[in-house]
Amino acid sequence: MPSTPPENDIWRNRTYPIKEDMAFQRATWRAERIGWAVLWLIVLLALLGLFSHGPLSTASVETPDGGLRVTYERFQRNGSPAEIRLEARPRSERRLAISLDARMLDAVTIETITPAPQAERAIAGGIELVFHAEPGAPLTVRLTVRPHKIGLVAGAIGIGASRPAELTQFVYP
Amino acid sequence: MDSVLRAVAVYAFLLVVLRISGRRTLAQMTPFDLVLLLIISEAAQQALLGDDFSITGGILVVITLLAIDIALSLLKGYVPSSAKLIDGLPMVVVENGALLQERMRRARIDEGDILESARETQGLERIDQIKFAVIEITGSITVIPKDR
């Protein structure tokens, strides 16, 4: 049965066969334990969506007149595609014009628009997408966007001539 | 510019996270650890190159990683305390046949790990045949037998 040295001897610095620094070693262990807690915390926050795709990340805004609802990711990652969902409720219009402002277009690449718009055109301060609409039937448009600018990105999405909805996203590197 | 920043960020991240996980985590290469290491490298590779398939991009990342590595090794030479910080220090866990239990617990190794290393490297059978066992900065356990 191997013997156990007394407790106070355990942390004494040995100088042979190697030179120890037990104070440093114990500080390392403490830092390690804190590090583990941070790792677990990051996993938890990632599950909650702090790094995109999760409850903390999903957000939605409406235009002031309630004509368009925009559901988007509050947090996005650089180069990783995310969806923006636009829900419009046309009253009597057969054509809906949805506008995206230039700040947004500078920060993301729009990869797909479903359904495809009938027309896309440049307007002052952005672009406009024109969709065919059935009066009274809700119209849902999904945009797949790929951010290429890091940090806070602001944008505005509007419908027709009314005031647009403002949204802010944070893009992780 | 992008490639260099990516390489620096990933290098720094891996250095910190592997230091946090402790030296024993990946030092004992069980088959599972090997697979884990491959998955980690695969995940890091995406962050290093993104969707850049150019030879230039790959070369820049490799050069940057090696340059940081050389710079750090030079730093360790000139500032010994930085080596301590980056690599840690070796520690005695068996002294004259006695286990230093509390140290082993904190370093997450058990008697079995020490005996395994003793059998493998020295052909020893029992703890009391060991003069010193040391956890090295690589995470491996080296064993010095008692004089017979």
Same-domain pairing of A62 and A135: yes
In this prediction, residue B143 carries a pLDDT of 95
CB atoms closer than 10 angstroms to residue B138: 12
Q: What are B122's two structure tokens?
A: 């020295």
Same domain, A84 and A31: no
Q: By the 8 A CB rule, do B40 and B26 touch?
A: no
A120 in a domain, yes or no? yes
Say if A2 falls within a structural domain: no
Pick from A20-24, A158-162, B115-119: least confident: A158-162
Chain B contact for A4 (CB, 8 A cutoff): yes
Residues A143, A165: contact at Cβ < 8 Å? no
Q: Based on the fold, state whether residues A62 and A32 are members of the same structural domain.
A: no
Cβ distance of A18 and B98 shorter than 8 Å: no
What class is the B91-145 domain? alpha beta
Same domain, A32 and A81: no
Say whether both A40 and A73 belong to one domain. no
Average pLDDT, chain A: 91
The strand pairing partners of A114, in sequence order, are A142
Pair (A31, A99) in one structural domain: no
Q: What pLDDT score was predicted for residue B27?
A: 67
| Confidence bin at A1 (pLDDT 50/70/90) | very low
**Are the beta carbons of B103 and A10 separated by less than 8 Å?**
yes
Does B5 have pLDDT greater than 70? yes
Q: What is the pLDDT of residue A6?
A: 61
In a domain, A63, yes or no: yes
Q: Domain count of chain A?
A: 2
Q: Are residues A70 and A117 in the same domain?
A: yes
Chain B residues closer than 8 Å to A28 by CB:
88
User: Quick one: what percent of chain A has pLDDT higher than 90?
Assistant: 77
ipTM, two decimals = 0.85
Q: How far is CA A123 from CA A38, A120, A149, A160, B15, in A?
A: 47, 10, 23, 12, 49
In this prediction, residue A93 carries a pLDDT of 80
Chain B partners within 8 Å of A147 (Cβ) = none
Q: Is residue A1 in a domain? A: no
pLDDT in tens, A129-153: 999 988 888 999 999 999 999 999 9
Check: CB of residue A76 under 8 Å from CB of residue A146. Answer: no
Decide if A91 touches B, using CB distance below 8 A: no
Of B22, B101, B134, the CB nearest to A17: B134
- Asked whether residue A53 is domain-assigned, the answer is no
Indicate whether A107 and A79 sit together in one domain: yes
Q: Which residues of B touch A32 (CB under 8 A)?
A: 19-20, 22
Mean pLDDT of A88-100: 87
Residues A20 and A98 in one domain: no
- DSSP category for residue A134: -
Closest partner CB to B91 (pick from A25, A31, A35): A25
CB contact under 8 A, A7 and B98: no
Q: CATH 3.30.240.20 in chain B, residues?
A: 91-145
What pLDDT does residue A50 have?
A: 94
Contact A66/B at CB under 8 A:
no
Express each pLDDT in B49-102 by its tens digit.
888 889 999 999 999 999 999 999 999 999 989 999 988 899 999 999 999 999
The boundaries of the domain holding residue A102 are 58-172
Three-class secondary structure assignment of chain B: CHHHHHHHHHHHHHHHHHHHCCCHHHHCCCHHHHHHHHHHHHHHHHHHHCCCCCHHHHHHHHHHHHHHHHHHHHHHHHCHHHHHHHHCCCEEEEECCEECHHHHHHCCCCHHHHHHHHHHHHCCCCHHHEEEEEECCCCCEEEEECCC
> Quick check: A3 contacting B, CB < 8 Å?
yes
Domain assignment present for residue A135? The answer is yes
Residues A87 and A33 in one domain: no
CATH code, domain carrying A158: 2.60.40.10
- Give the least confident one: A9-23, B14-28, B100-114: B14-28
Q: Count CB pairs under 8 A between chains A and B.
A: 64
Nearest CA in chain A to B2: A173
The alpha carbon of residue A25 is apart from the nearest alpha carbon of chain B, in Å, by 7
CB contact under 8 A, A173 and B106: no
Say whether B90 and A18 touch across the interface (CB within 8 A): yes
Min Cα–Cα distance to chain B from A51, Å: 15
Same structural domain for residues A145 and A84?
yes
Q: How far is A67 from chain B (nearest CA, A)?
A: 38
